[in-house]
Structure 1
Amino acid sequence: MNEQNCHLVCPHCQVTNRVPAARLSAAPNCGKCSQPLLTGSPHELNAQTASKVIQKNDVLTIVDFWASWCQPCIMMAPQFKAAANQLPQVVFAKVQTDKYEQAAAPYNIRSLPTMVAFRGGKEIARQSGALPSQQIAQWVHSLQT
C-alpha cells in the first residue's frame, strides 16, 4: 500500500476502489455503488471474487477457509463475525471450500477452519483451528504492527 492511496475491492459490486489511506477510518463508500467498502462483517467469496479480493486489496484481509460439513468451522463462524465487528478497518471474508474448491486450491489449505491473512495479494500469516473472537482479534492485531 503506498502512503497516499490504497485499493479496496467493494464487497457489494466487486469494483476496485482507490481510497486515500487517511480516509480508511472515515468509513469510505464505493465510487460505483455507494455502499460501504469496510463493512465490519465478513462477506462470502466465490470462485470469481476470491482471487480479486485477495489480490487487489491493499488493506489487511483475513480469509476464513471453511466447509459446511466441518463442525469446528460452524462453531467458529459467529466468533469470526464478532472479531470482524471489532476490527472495522480490516476486511474479513469467507471461502466455503467444499463449494468453491478451485478458490481455495492455490492456498494449500490442509485443515479446517484455516484463517489466512493477506496484504497486497501476499500471504503474511495463517492460523488453523477454531478460535474464540478475542483470540482472532488478538491475532489480527499482531499482524497490524
Structure 2
Amino acid sequence: MSQLHVVCPHCHTTNRIQSADLAKAPDCGSCHQALFTGQPVNLSATEFERHITRSQLPVLVDFWAPWCGPCRMMAPAFEQAAQQLEPRVQLVKVNTDEAQGLGAQLNIRSIPTIALFVGGREVARQAGAMGAADIVRWAQSQLSRAATTA
C-alpha cells in the first residue's frame, strides 16, 4: 500500500494518506475538515503553487475571471466534474484577475482555460468552455496519455 501527499483544500497543509483510503472520505490532520469536498477550491497564486508542487494527486485547474461570460457558464460544469473526478484528481480554480502574475507566468492567453498538472508540471491544456462530461472525458484521456509517457 502506498502513501500519497494530498494538500488540504481548507488550510493547505500537506497530508499523508494511504492510497487505499482516498475513497474513505479522509480528513485533514491539521484542520480536521474533509480533504475531498466534491467542489473545486479557489486558490491564490501562493496556494496554487503549494497544491501543484506538494500534492501527489493530479490537479485540474480552471483559470477564469468573474467578468468572463463563458467562465461563468462553465463554472457549474466544472463543479459537476469535481464530483466525478475526486478523489483521484483535485479540482481547483484560479481567478486570473487576482493572480495576474501567475497567469502571465503560465502564459494563459484566453479564459476559460483548464490545465492538468501531474507531479508539479503541466501535462495538458485546453482553452474554451466545456460541459461536465467533456471536462471529465478530457481529464481522463490526458491522465491516460500522461501515464503512458511517464
TM-score normalized with structure 2 length: 0.89
1:53 aligns with 2:51: yes
Residue 31 of structure 1 aligns to a residue in which SS? coil
User: 1:48 Cα shift?
Assistant: 2.0
The residue identity in structure 1 corresponding to 2:69 is Q
Which residue of the partner structure matches residue 12 of structure 1? Answer: 10
Unaligned ranges ≥5, structure 1: none
After superposition, the C-alpha distances for 1:65-122 in whole angstroms (9 at most, x for unaligned) are 0112211111111111111112221211000001211232321111111000011211
2:78 pairs, out of 73, 76, 80, with: 80
Q: 1:120 — aligned with what?
A: 119
Q: In 2, Cα distance between the equivalents of 1:29 and 1:51?
A: 22
* Alignment counterpart, residue 63 of structure 1, candidates 33, 49, 61: 61
Identify unmatched segments of 5+ residues in structure 2.
145-150
Deviation readout 1:32-75 (Å, 9 max, x if unpaired): 11111122110100122111111111111100001122111111
Measured in 1, the distance between the counterparts of 2:6 and 2:104 equals: 23
Q: 1:35 aligns with which of 33, 36, 45?
A: 33
Question: Partners in 2 of 1:143 and 1:6 — Cα distance?
Answer: 20
Aligned residue type for 2:124:
A
Higher mean alpha-carbon deviation, 97-106 vs 115-124, is at 97-106
One-letter identity of the residue aligned with 2:26 = P
The answer to whether structure 1 residue 99 and structure 2 residue 94 are counterparts is: no
> Paired residues, what number?
143
TM superposition shift of 1:144: 3.4
Alignment correspondent of 2:22 = 24
For 1:64, give the aligned amino acid. Answer: D
* TM-score (norm. length: structure 1): 0.92
The 8 Å contact of residues 46 and 103 in structure 1, kept in 2 or not, is answered as no
